[in-house]
Amino acid sequence: MRSLFNKVLLDIAEKNDRIYMVLADIGYGEIEGFAERFPDRFFNVGVAEQNMTGVACGVAMEGNIAVTYSIANFPTLRCLEQIRNDVCYHKANVKIVIIGGGLAYGALGVSHQATEDLAIMRALPDMVVLAPADFAEAEAAVHAMIAHDGPVYYRCGYKKEPALHGGPIDFRIGRAIQVRDGSDLTLIGTGTITYRAFEAAGILESQGVKARVLSMHTVKPLDREAVLAAARETRAVVTVEEHNVLGGLGGAVAEVLAEAGGGVPFLRVGLPDSYIHLVGSHNWLLDHYGFAPQAIAASARRLLEGRQ
């Protein structure tokens, strides 16, 4: 997905000379095309993410669109104060892109794992939070991100994520995409883990349970209507996110459900509220922490049957 992101951004930048990239000595193997094609619109500030964000804000305040780009936590947690005080406070047209959210860099340990980012970024005023599920959403999200006037956080996948959609999609910020219909329960995913929720729905169907699947590619602003429709039209709601179970997609959906007062059975499937001390491949870690499609299906079935 990161290769696709860089290709699409380069294509857009060919037609829009307001687009700049600001990096902190990262991303090689993917960003050379932009650097070579637009050397006057490419800045590498060195290993200094706070400075990267400040420079990006300055570029944006001059009427441009600045894209910062790095691995997982580095363009977010390391420079959170600059994002808050410089970018969001001024509603600057800065797009913060991370590569490999969640446990994608599992072999490198907790320093490279973005497991609190959705909660933190969605708490910042005026920040749009995007987490596309597959290549189709990722491409559409780049166009939507550039078209949006203001701060955007874009949680990009890492490598060869499977396709969730079989054809064209209608991608709009703040509007979920229904991937599968169902009347028994609703699985709501965000980011690349949504494909495993989709696979879980197939398992549930083989067991006689019809599961609706929503790709909530925008965590903020959340599609409240899609959530409320799921609560009205199905008998349970389950969120699935490669993120701490606190504060991310599950927290956002829980807020909507609590305010609506519907009382629908609800479950958050996510990472435990602790640091991930284990080191291993991405897929191994996902299975270990309950993201295998069979495990998601079993948790959803227990909720539906009142055994959670």
Q: What pLDDT does 26 receive?
A: 84
Q: Which domains does the chain have, with CATH numbers?
A: 2-156 (3.40.50.970), 177-304 (3.40.50.920)
Look at residue 195 and tell me whether its pLDDT is greater than 90.
yes
Nearest 5°: phi and psi at 6? -65, -35
Other Cβ atoms less than 10 A from the Cβ of 161: the count is 22
What span, in angstroms and rounded, lies between the C-alpha atoms of 151 and 108? 29
Mean per-residue pLDDT, 91-97: 98
Question: Alpha helix locations (H) across the chain?
Answer: 2-15, 32-37, 49-61, 80-82, 117-122, 135-147, 194-206, 224-233, 249-260, 282-288, 293-304
Nearest 5°: phi and psi at 237? -130, 130
Q: What pLDDT does 262 receive?
A: 76
Q: What pLDDT does 263 receive?
A: 87
**Helix 135-147 and helix 2-15, axial crossing angle in degrees, nearest 10:** 40
pLDDT, tens digit, 9 for 90 and up, residues 265-295: 999 999 999 998 899 999 999 999 999 999 9
Residue showing tokens 């600001």 = 22
pLDDT, tens digit, 9 for 90 and up, residues 117-167: 999 999 999 999 999 999 999 999 999 999 999 999 999 988 788 999 988
Q: What pLDDT does 69 receive?
A: 95
Q: What pLDDT does 72 receive?
A: 84
Contact at 8 Å (CB) between 239 and 290?
no
Q: What pLDDT does 267 receive?
A: 98
**Helix 249-260 and helix 224-233, axial crossing angle in degrees, nearest 10:** 60
Residues 6+ apart with CB under 8 A from 229: none
Residue showing tokens 């690349």 = 192
Residue showing tokens 């939507």 = 144
Look at residue 308 and tell me whether its pLDDT is greater than 70.
no
What span, in angstroms and rounded, lies between the C-alpha atoms of 124 and 9? 25
Q: What is the pTM of this model?
A: 0.96
Give the DSSP H or E segment for 47. Answer: none
Residue showing tokens 């389950």 = 238
Contact at 8 Å (CB) between 116 and 78?
no
Nearest 5°: phi and psi at 8? -65, -40
